[in-house]
């Protein structure tokens, strides 16, 4: 597949030599240094490639309407992250992790609101060829605010930037948790099984927890507006479906706080139809919670 080949080119696999000799001339003296290539970085890049490939496969399955299969790919990606964390703790400081988290999320967000890195979940793919992903269009608009935010996110190894893979594990985990949540959410809506909605809700909860732990104000500096708003909107949808009025009210308040910040400071981070969806969603939630409060 063209996407996999392109991503593999970003990784220095198959290097013919693990060591190089660097000769540095200074003050008429030549000093020889043995420069050992960073094998740990290569391993991390390979892990990143594998996890991102699983996410890519999950996105394609979701676009084809295979929600269960898409969910399995996302869960495999999460399991890979779990194995990494079990073998070693990320050797990065809290500040480095927070900075890398925001940098990665900013890159992800800029792609997700465009046509090439975020696709609407639907029964049929907009384009059959994976290599045409750069021409995917957001054909499905969110006109029904009672619906959930049925979009999943793509990411590539190039989004690592200058950050180590250890530093962005939290961000990658949020990405996979949200996508897995959408997979179960779509399955639950399609089949009417509340069990699937509850599974989706657990993934959304974990995603929110990691976002708040990694960066207490994720809506600031325009770092995570779309992802964060999507998680909250989908949590509210499930809470409404399951008649969890107290939890719905709390989610509504948080959604309103984040959305107000985005509207007044970072409105350019969202496309018009995305902003419209969240605004209508919040308006209907306010009406719903007001009616529930009056009836109590």
Alpha-carbon distance of 192 to 195, in angstroms, equals 9
Q: How is the chain split into domains, by residue range?
A: 40-295
Which ranges in the chain belong to alpha helices (H)? 2-8, 39-63, 67-87, 94-112, 169-191, 194-214, 225-241, 245-265, 272-295
User: pLDDT digits over 134-192, tens only?
Assistant: 222 333 444 444 578 888 888 765 555 555 666 677 778 888 999 999 999 999 988 88
Is the pLDDT confidence value at 289 over 90?
no
Q: What is the pLDDT of residues 99-127, one digit of tens each?
A: 665 555 555 432 332 233 344 454 433 33
CA distance 192 to 169: 33
Helices (H), 30-123: 39-63, 67-87, 94-112
Which of 99, 153, 149, 90 minimizes the C-alpha distance to 278? 149
The confidence score (pLDDT) of residue 28 equals: 43
Q: Which helix (H) or strand (E) holds 29?
A: strand 29-36
Specify the pTM. Answer: 0.70
CB hemisphere CA count around 290 (13 angstroms): 6
pLDDT digit string, tens, across residues 46-93: 787 888 899 989 988 888 888 999 999 999 999 988 887 777 666 666
pLDDT band at 8 (very low <50, low <70, confident <90, very high): very low
């Amino acid at each position: 597949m063209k996407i996999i080949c392109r991503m593999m080119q970003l990784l220095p696999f198959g290097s013919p030599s693990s060591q190089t000799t660097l000769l540095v001339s200074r003050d008429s003296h030549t000093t020889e240094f043995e420069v050992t290539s960073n094998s740990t970085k290569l391993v991390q890049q390979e892990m990143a490639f594998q996890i991102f490939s699983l996410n890519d496969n999950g996105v394609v399955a979701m676009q084809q309407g295979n929600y269960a299969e898409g969910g399995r790919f996302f869960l495999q990606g999460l399991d890979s992250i779990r194995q990494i964390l079990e073998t070693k703790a990320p050797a990065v400081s809290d500040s480095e992790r927070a900075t890398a988290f925001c940098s990665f999320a900013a890159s992800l967000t800029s792609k997700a609101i465009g046509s090439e890195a975020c696709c609407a979940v639907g029964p049929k793919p907009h384009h059959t060829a994976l290599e045409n992903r750069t021409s995917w269009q957001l054909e499905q608009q969110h006109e029904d605010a009672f619906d959930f935010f049925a979009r999943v996110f793509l990411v590539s190894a190039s989004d690592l930037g200058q950050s180590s893979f250890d530093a962005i594990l939290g961000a990658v985990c949020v990405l996979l948790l949200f996508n897995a949540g959408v997979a179960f959410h779509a399955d639950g809506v399609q089949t009417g099984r509340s069990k699937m909605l509850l599974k989706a809700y657990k993934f959304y909860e974990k995603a929110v927890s990691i976002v708040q732990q990694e960066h207490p104000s994720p809506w600031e500096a325009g770092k995570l507006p779309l992802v964060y708003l999507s998680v909250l909107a989908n949590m509210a949808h499930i809470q409404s479906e399951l008649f969890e009025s107290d939890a719905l009210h709390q989610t509504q308040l948080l959604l309103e706080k984040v959305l107000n910040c985005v509207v007044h400071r970072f409105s350019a981070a969202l496309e018009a139809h995305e902003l419209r969806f969240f605004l209508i969603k919040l308006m209907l939630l306010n009406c719903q919670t007001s009616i529930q409060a009056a009836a109590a």
